[in-house]
């Protein structure tokens, strides 16, 4: 699959290079760069003049309410640096884009990543990069996009009710009929269908409360999923990973296991433990969304212009980048209820985004600004008396079901028109006689008078 690479302006390209330069060097324990992809909603329920509003997913805490809202959706691509401390949930956001209403967030996010990789001036095309995403990124459409990127590995969560297939056993003898594409099915919810794993591993650790737990990992290589008309998924196997957490007595801590799918041509270069640890770091994106919306006002800017809203998200992203770069310069400023926590008493300094934001005023004064002091240039005359503004037009909400119904109705009308005969069917003599008799009687005459009148008017 070939992606269309967007030509960025020079200033935007320079900003992308500058953000990539802030990526820290890889430690000895990691040989690949880790990125995260996810979408977050921008509710704009009452913005009736805003363009391209659609129904997007949004968590709703009220029972029996659907988890949807009206507004926009933004796809965020962020670098996930190696963790210096268990409580440090820092990310480095490198691009934020609005998802159009006619696109899907998961497919748009991967095309967003493909544009970065295919831009050779950014220097990502030759590096082994892993991307983590939730269950929406484990679809055949996403797998199709990843297969075209040679150095990209996608780690996505899988739902527990999926059905995958083993690679069919090759048969030396020739048989009639279509070749077999899929082997025995593996139902994730039915352990009796699970075959012997190809690889196993264990991680022994402790929870935040000091309880010892063991994470049991299993991997099945060369698994297959059902494809589509546009993508032959049976030609592109993937790795399936299961993670089960048990306590000291051997009982499960969680009722259901964690299932992960690993796509990509270089997926075997990442170990089983690295796959699990990489996916666990995906939840740092959720911390980024929560902090950004609560403290950096990501979704609080109200504007009737879609372009202005997109620019605000980029500005907010750069504000978080400034906090990330200042995390080692900030002094630890704690709230009164945080003074007695063990993290605050430790000598090592691992500031959180909220702590850096509290001290960022001092850092900004210390760094200074290249801007000149503002000078008054007169008083604006303002709007002339009687001059008004044009009223903005109300924009409709884009419903995907409405688009599907419109396309279906157009197909139905087209098929009905095509089924109509081009030439009318000729009438028989008896049918013509009945029609003529009915017309003559409706005029108040009879057939004898009509025929005698036609005989007199006939030419000699």
> How many residues would you count in the chain?
460
Inter-helix orientation angle 105-118/140-147, to 10°: 0
Which residues make Cβ contacts (< 8 Å) with residue 39, sequence separation at least 6?
A: 57, 73, 74, 75, 76, 99, 105, 106, 109
| CATH code, domain with 110 | 3.90.350
Tell whether 99 is covered by a domain.
Answer: yes
- Per-residue confidence (pLDDT) for residue 342, from 0 to 100: 74
Q: Among candidates 88, 108, 29, 78, which has minimal Cα distance to 273?
A: 29
Look at the chain and report how many structural domains it folds into.
1
Question: Which residue carries 């005989």 as its tokens?
Answer: 455
The pLDDT value given to residue 171: 58
Asked if residue 141 is part of any domain, the answer here is: yes
CA distance 401 to 86: 44
Q: CB 320: neighbour CB atoms within 10 A?
A: 23
Cα dist. 313→98, 128, 136, 317, 446 in Å?
A: 9, 29, 23, 6, 85
Phi, psi of 119 (to 5 degrees): -80, 100
Residue 435 lies in a domain: no
Task: Let me know: does 268 contact 327? Beta carbons within 8 Å.
Answer: no
pLDDT at 413: 47
The first and second tokens of residue 225, run together, are 């999923």
Q: Kindly state the tokens that stand for 36.
A: 């995260």
If we measure between CA atoms, which residue out of 241, 263, 60, 56 comes closest to residue 148?
Answer: 263
Q: Is 181 exposed, middle or buried (0-12, 13-18, 19+ CB in 10 A)?
A: middle
Looking at residue 376, its pLDDT comes to 87
Does any domain span residue 133?
yes
**What's the DSSP call for residue 245?**
E
* 135 found inside a domain: yes
Asked if residue 37 belongs to a domain, the reply is yes
Is 154 within a domain? yes
Concatenated DSSP letters of 69-107: EEEEEEEEEEE-PPPSSTT----EEEEEEEPPTTS-HHH
With the C-alpha atoms ordered 39, 45, 46, 49, is the resulting torsion angle positive or negative?
positive
For residue 182, is it within any domain? no
What is residue 418's predicted lDDT score, i.e. its pLDDT?
Answer: 53
d(Cα 363, Cα 322) in Å, to the nearest integer?
10
Tens place of pLDDT per residue across the chain (460 aa): 333 444 456 778 888 889 999 998 888 889 999 999 999 999 999 999 999 999 999 988 888 888 999 999 999 999 999 887 777 889 999 999 999 999 999 999 999 999 999 888 888 888 999 999 999 999 999 999 999 999 999 999 999 999 999 999 875 566 778 888 999 999 999 999 999 999 999 999 998 888 999 999 999 999 999 999 889 999 999 999 999 999 999 899 999 999 999 999 999 999 999 999 999 999 999 999 999 999 999 999 999 999 999 999 999 999 999 999 999 899 888 888 887 877 777 766 788 899 999 999 999 998 888 888 888 888 888 888 888 888 999 999 999 775 555 565 555 545 554 555 555 667 777 777 788 788 877 777 777 777 777 777 766 5
Provide the domain limits for residue 20.
Answer: 10-159+219-237+260-335+349-365
Tell whether pTM > 0.95.
no
What are phi and psi for residue 141, nearest 5 degrees? -65, -40
């Amino acid at each position: 699959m070939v992606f269309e690479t967007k030509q960025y302006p020079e200033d935007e390209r320079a900003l992308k290079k500058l953000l990539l330069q802030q990526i820290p060097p890889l430690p000895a324990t990691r040989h690949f760069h880790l990125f995260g992809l996810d979408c977050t909603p921008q509710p704009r329920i009452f913005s009736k003049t805003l363009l391209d509003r659609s129904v997007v997913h949004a968590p709703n805490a009220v029972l029996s309410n659907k988890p949807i809202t009206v507004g926009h959706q933004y796809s965020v691509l962020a670098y996930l640096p190696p963790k210096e401390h268990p409580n440090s949930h820092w990310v480095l956001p490198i691009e934020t884009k609005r998802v159009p209403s006619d696109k899907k967030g998961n497919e748009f996010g991967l095309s967003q990543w493909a544009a970065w990789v295919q831009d050779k001036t950014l220097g990502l095309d030759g590096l082994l990069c892993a991307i983590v995403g939730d269950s929406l990124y484990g679809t055949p459409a996403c797998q199709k996009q990843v297969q075209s990127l040679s150095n990209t590995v996608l780690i996505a969560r899988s739902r527990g009710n999926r059905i995958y297939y083993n690679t069919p056993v090759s048969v030396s003898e020739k048989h009639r009929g279509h070749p077999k594409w899929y082997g025995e099915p593996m139902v994730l919810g039915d352990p009796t269908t699970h075959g012997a794993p190809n690889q196993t591993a264990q991680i022994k650790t402790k929870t935040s409360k000091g309880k010892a737990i063991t994470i049991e990992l299993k991997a099945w290589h060369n698994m297959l999923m059902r494809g589509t008309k546009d993508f032959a998924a049976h030609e592109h196997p993937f790795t399936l990973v299961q993670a089960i957490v048990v306590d000291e007595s051997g009982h499960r801590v969680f009722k259901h296991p964690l299932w992960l799918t690993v796509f990509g041509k270089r997926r075997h270069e990442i170990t089983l433990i690295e796959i699990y640890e990489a996916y666990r770091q995906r939840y740092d994106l959720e911390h980024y969304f929560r902090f950004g919306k609560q403290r950096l006002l990501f979704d609080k800017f109200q504007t009737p212009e879609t372009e202005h809203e997109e620019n605000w998200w980029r500005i907010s992203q750069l504000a978080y980048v400034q906090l990330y770069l200042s995390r080692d310069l900030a002094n630890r400023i704690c709230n009164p209820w945080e003074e007695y926590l063990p993290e605050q008493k430790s000598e090592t300094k691992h500031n959180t985004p909220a702590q850096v934001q509290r001290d960022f005023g001092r850092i900004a004064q210390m760094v200074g600004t290249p801007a000149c002091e503002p000078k008054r240039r007169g008083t604006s005359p303002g709007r002339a008396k009687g001059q008004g503004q044009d009223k903005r037009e109300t924009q409709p909400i884009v419903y995907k079901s409405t688009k599907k119904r419109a396309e279906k109705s157009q197909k139905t009308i087209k098929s009905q028109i095509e089924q109509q005969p081009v030439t009318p069917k000729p009438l028989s003599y008896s049918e013509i006689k009945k029609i003529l008799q009915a017309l003559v009687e409706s005029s108040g005459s009879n057939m004898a008078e009509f025929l005698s009148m036609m005989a007199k008017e006939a030419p000699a």
